Amino acid sequence: MKVFKFGGASVKNAQGVLNVKKIISLFKNENLVVVISAMGKTTNLMESVLNCWYHNRTELESKLTQLEEYHLAIIQELDNHEQVIYKKVQPLFHQLRTIVADTPSESYDYEYDRIVPIGEYLSTTIVSAYLNLNHFPNQLLDASKMIRTDNCFREGQVDWITSSQLIQETFAKYPDKLKITQGFIGGTIEKETVTLGREGSDYTAAIIAYSIDATDVTIWKDVAGLLNADPKLFPDAVKLDEIPYEEAIELSYYGATIIHPKTLKPLQNKQIPLYVKSFENPLDEGSVIANVNPSSYIPSYIFKRDQILFSVYPKDFSFIDVNSLSEIFLLLSENHIKINLMQNSALSFSICFDHDSKKLDILIQALTTKYKIKYNEQVELITIRHYTDEAIEKVIGNKKIFVEQKNRTTLQAVVRI
């Protein structure tokens, strides 16, 4: 069985849905599981709905209308069956409006996981219904009933044993059908929906592939494959034809957005190849992540903008020792702050993380009594994997560097934008 994953860009309009059908038709004799993200920028719009519900109810109706009109326009463009498809998605719009008619709870993360996944349910309902109406019989499955997680909303931790059992049992009920399900979504034993982290649809594909011993996973993107840089920043970006799991894990750890960081471990554990292909040119070879050993590497460039560089200094000039670091790391863990870079000396400890004003305030309040705090907002973290002098000059040049780290294969620098 093969696992396909289509991201938001690949189903952002009616033409994208038609293209999904075209790609599936190329594999009509294969057993397929298709994981689909929310359409286009729907996740951003769902987050806007959530924020309006909490902070700006006067804008809430316009956001809901925008969401409905966007999806209805796609349905209307598909073919003459728009009423059939609309009847299937209308309950989802009703569900959302019912939720926001009430007062939100104090737990933002809990409400996030009630509201934002509706985007995935909308996209999979539309695609599944359209395919069924056009001679591609399929079974729409609810990912929240197959992928079991804990109660850590917005960052659900997967129960692998239970999830594998649930996925296998569900798939056994529909052995001959094309299967479609949502990315990004899991569920608790109490039947609460939990998301797997932003961009978690890749991870969903890997969880399913691991559970069913899939032959391979293919992620369909709007690029030709894995590139050594963002083509929007580097028009001369080069495609990486094949890289080993270890290299892909390193790239994803440093922030390469083409693959979700948690996706690769379960695939590597079972040696399941991961292909990255263009949904616009599905017959092109694309790239593969597998058990390969390239003879050489070219530099890869990763840019993370809108970063915070946060530093602490003991007020009494005591060392930053193991006990101090333990206290700080516990605080970071409790608040789900992912470190993109860290550096320490005898009298300082610095981290770089994605900008989040709320989390920044928490750190300041928790540490300011014991430490002197310094921080820089709106900085950029540049990572060069397999760096050369020419590569460093190309991307860093004369930029002001706040922090720099270098090992045998990777250079990271926090710079002023």
The reported pLDDT for the residue numbered 199 is 72
Looking at the DSSP bridge assignments, the partners of residue 191 are: none
pTM exceeds 0.85, yes or no? yes
Task: Find, among 237, 360, 270, 271, the residue nearest to 307 by Cα.
Answer: 360
Contacts of 151 (CB under 8 A, 6+ apart): 188, 190, 192, 194
Angle at 112 (CA atoms; ends 110, 118), nearest 5 degrees: 120
* Phi, psi of 80, rounded to the nearest 5 degrees: -85, 5
| Residue where the block lists tokens 């993200």 | 37
Residues of the chain where predicted confidence (pLDDT) is lower than 70: 198
Task: Find, among 150, 140, 162, the residue nearest to 187 by Cα.
Answer: 150
Q: Which domains does the chain have, with CATH numbers?
A: 2-214 (3.40.1160.10), 300-416 (3.30.2130.10)
Looking at the DSSP bridge assignments, the partners of residue 288 are: 242, 275
The reported pLDDT for the residue numbered 177 is 87
The reported pLDDT for the residue numbered 227 is 94
Determine which helix (DSSP H) or strand (DSSP E) holds 268, and give its type and residue range.
Answer: helix 264-269
Angle at 145 (CA atoms; ends 271, 263), nearest 5 degrees: 30
The reported pLDDT for the residue numbered 361 is 97
The reported pLDDT for the residue numbered 318 is 87
Using alpha carbons, list the distances in angstroms from residue 4 to 162, 262, 301: 22, 17, 27
Task: Find, among 124, 297, 293, 267, the residue nearest to 207 by Cα.
Answer: 267
